Structure 1
Amino acid sequence: MSQAPEVSGGPVVTPVRVVIALCLVAPFVAMLWVGSYAEVEPAFIGIPFFYWYQMAWVLISTVLTMIAYKLWQREQRARRRGAGS
């Protein structure tokens, strides 16, 4: 039986990359699932839930994107160090 040649340098799924993907996908899922936040109550300082929920996700998305970027940078540095050895 012949074996398929191994592809080196191709995309690899690692736990860190899964976390990065989740950080980047979570805001999209949260915003596209409108039924979960299409409410007026609970209001926060007079702002209906529909609006402050979306504004909260702007901040949450920023933090999640920053986390994903930092994880990506750390993984790339580790890969470069591993390839240089």
Structure 2
Amino acid sequence: MRASHLLLLVPFLALGTPWFNAVEPRLFGVPFFYWAQFAWIPVTVVCLAAVHLRTRHRPDASSDGHRPFTAP
């Protein structure tokens, strides 16, 4: 496991609902509870993209070097 895989844990912070259970501060009149959850969407996308880009060229440990079967 690479250190970059720890980025996959960051989106789980959004599950801490008691941290977001507040009305203030408001953003454009929207209570904190709602806009904070929407703010996690781009954070999650960036974390997933970073891990994907760092691991996409890494060969699979269980692979024996053969290409997988693809239907014609």
User: TM-score over 0.5 for the alignment?
Assistant: yes
- Kindly provide the amino acid, as one letter, of the partner of residue 25 in structure 1: L
TM-score if structure 1 supplies the norm length?
A: 0.62
Cross-structure match for 1:9? none
Partner of 2:9: 25
- Structure 2 gaps, min length 5: 60-72
What percentage of residue pairs aligned between the two structures are identical?
A: 32
The within-5 A match list for 1:28-47 is: 28=12, 30-47=13-30
CA distance in 2, matches of 1:67, 1:26: 12
- Which runs of structure 2 are paired with 1:1-85 in the superposition (5 Å)? 13=1, 17-20=2-5, 22-28=6-12, 30-74=13-57, 76=58
Structure 1: gaps of 5 or more residues = 1-12, 78-85
How many residues in Structure 1 have an aligned counterpart in Structure 2?
60
- Higher alpha-carbon Rg: 1
What is the RMSD of the two structures over their aligned residues, measured on CA atoms? 1.7
Q: Deviations over 1:47-72 (max 9, x none)?
A: 11011110000111001100010111
TM-score normalised over the length of structure 2: 0.72
SS where residue 69 of structure 1 aligns? helix
The runs of 4+ residues in structure 1 deviating greater than 4 Å are none
More helix by share: 1
Question: Which amino acid in the other structure matches residue 20 of structure 2?
Answer: Y
